[in-house]
Amino acid sequence: MSDTFVIKGLGGQKTLRGTVAITGAKNAALKVLAATVLFRDTVTLKNIPEINDVQQITELLRNMGAEISHPNTSEYKVSIPQNFSTELSPSIVKRLRASVVITGPTLARFGKVSFSSPGGCLIGARPIDLFIEGFKKMGAKVTFKNDSYSIVAPQGLRGAEFFLKNQSVTVTETFVFAGVLAQGITTIKNAAMEPEIVDLVDFLNKCGAKIFGAGTPTITITGGKLLSAKKHIYQTMPDRIDAGSFLILGALTAKKLRIIHCNPAHLESPIEALRSAGVSIETKKNEIIVRAPTKIKPLNIKTHEYPGFPTDLQAPMTVFLTQAEGESRVFETIFESRLNYTEALTGIGARFVVMDPHRVLVQGKTELCGKKIISPDLRAGLAFVIAAIVAKGESVIHNVNTTIDRGYEDIERRLKDIGVDIERRSEDEEIVCN
Ligand code: EPZ
């Protein structure tokens, strides 16, 4: 079974209004679930988004023996037993690349871990060389056979110093977690600075970790002891990509849209870009108010590690630029296949000149017309939803539950509440996207 969204577009009208609440951040929630392996007691996690990726990672942890309860919506309790398995389920690792973060705490605590190669995905090659090099530096032995890694460190991991050739988010998180239980000091240079890392580290430090420098390019961890969550509950930070996606939708279609339970300080780059395109945006501590302008000015976007423009908002922003009066440039610097979705947008009326795999010229303003379209991945999928809302006529977006539902909680209800005509239908088969 596969779900489809049927959306009746606004045909360029700017009538959406109301309030939308932002959920907990997917990319912090997945990692805090992995980090529960660092704890000797039960960890309570709140504001965890109800999305497919969270179901996948909890299933993976359960398969390994974790005791997980879900007493209320968005709340999980996780305990890791002594006989926790050190093998990650190959089918889940293939579907959910973020699951590779579990390798760091598992190896550090239990002295071994094995997992199948996560492989590439639609947005790019997604190598894991930095994980493997890092584990070796911390004293582990790595064997690769039949597409699977087996990593052992019978004496435990020891602290090490590394310089990451790419500022990778999941690599930084994996080695922060590994460093918490390694003997001695671990130093990560050219570390990623994403707010999700700061959010996780704040919690780990409250529970006994000694991690300094999160949010800067150098993170130092003094390791050695299991953590305790007896006195602290983790509360997931707001999802900046969920908030940014509604912000872009509002900038295209809203009379007045209030985005609440968000943190505008995490969205400085997209807010700055939208303002320079002529969008009216007011920010308060945990709230953003956006109104669509009558005319959108073209602009150039270049994705960058935080605090630069997030690659996860590149596709929605490109949809925005199809409505700008003139030529804009989009430069995707992080992933090599993250502009492939533009071909499908051409099919609904957008005009692009593909300069190379990383750069496109967006020729605005174009009228978008509703059509059948297959959602290729999570972020491009939501960009198609935004395009369908802007477009004239009816759009049908296929493969919602294997793409959009991975990362956006209750998306159709939240869109309906602000005036979008959207309906979910079930189909017999998933449509394969090449
Ligand atoms: C995280 O992916 C996010 N995923 C991604 O969000 C996000 O797009 C990305 O960071 C960039 O912000 C999660 O947090 C679960 P990277 P991650 O490792 O950590 C290279 C979404 O839609 N690299 O930071 O996997 C890599 O090729 C997802 O929510 C190596 O060279 O990405 C890329 O060029 C998609 N060797 C760069 O680092 C390695 O061993 C950054 O990737 C690992 C990565």
pLDDT in tens, 137-165: 999 999 999 989 999 999 999 999 999 99
Mean pLDDT for the stretch of residues 284-303: 97
Mutate to test the pocket of ligand 1, among 170, 309, 314 (most ligand atoms within 8 A of CB): 170
Position 124 confidence tier, pLDDT thresholds 50, 70, 90:
confident
What pLDDT does 2 receive? 85
- Please give the number of the atom of ligand 1 that sits closest to the Cα of 124: 27
The set of residues, in sequence order, having a beta carbon less than 8 Å from that of 431 and lying 6+ positions away, is 2, 374, 398, 399
Q: pLDDT, tens digit, for every residue of 203-241? A: 999 999 999 999 999 999 999 899 999 999 999 999 999
Mean per-residue pLDDT over the chain, rounded:
95
**What residue's CA is closest to ligand 1, atom 24?**
168
Q: pLDDT, tens digit, for every residue of 326-349? A: 999 999 999 988 999 999 999 999
Whole-number Å distance, alpha carbon 168 to ligand 1 midpoint, is 6
CATH 3.65.10.10 residue ranges in the chain? 2-23+238-427, 26-225
Report percent pLDDT > 70 for the chain.
98
What pLDDT does 134 receive? 97
Whole-number Å distance, alpha carbon 73 to ligand 1 midpoint, is 28
- Please give the number of the atom of ligand 1 that sits closest to the Cα of 126: 27
- Please give the number of the atom of ligand 1 that sits closest to the Cα of 192: 24
Residue type present at position 210: K
Catalytic residue numbers, as ranges:
121
**What residue's CA is closest to ligand 1, atom 16?**
168
Cis, peptide link before residue 137, omega less than 30° from 0: no
Lowest model confidence (mean pLDDT) among 123-137, 150-164, 176-190, 258-272: 123-137
| Ligand 1 in reach of 98 Cβ (< 6 A) | yes
pLDDT at 431 over 60: no
**What residue's CA is closest to ligand 1, atom 18?**
168
Whole-number Å distance, alpha carbon 300 to ligand 1 midpoint, is 23
Does domain 2-23+238-427 fall under CATH 3.65.10.10? My reply is yes
What pLDDT does 21 receive? 98
What pLDDT does 14 receive? 96
What pLDDT does 434 receive? 38
Domain 26-225 homologous superfamily, CATH: Enolpyruvate transferase domain (3.65.10.10)
Q: Name the pTM for this structure.
A: 0.96
Q: pLDDT, tens digit, for every residue of 6-15? A: 999 999 999 9
What pLDDT does 433 receive? 43
Please check whether residue 334 is in contact with residue 309, taking contact to mean a CB–CB distance below 8 angstroms. no
Position 24 confidence tier, pLDDT thresholds 50, 70, 90:
very high
Whole-number Å distance, alpha carbon 171 to ligand 1 midpoint, is 8
Q: What is the DSSP letter of 432?
A: P
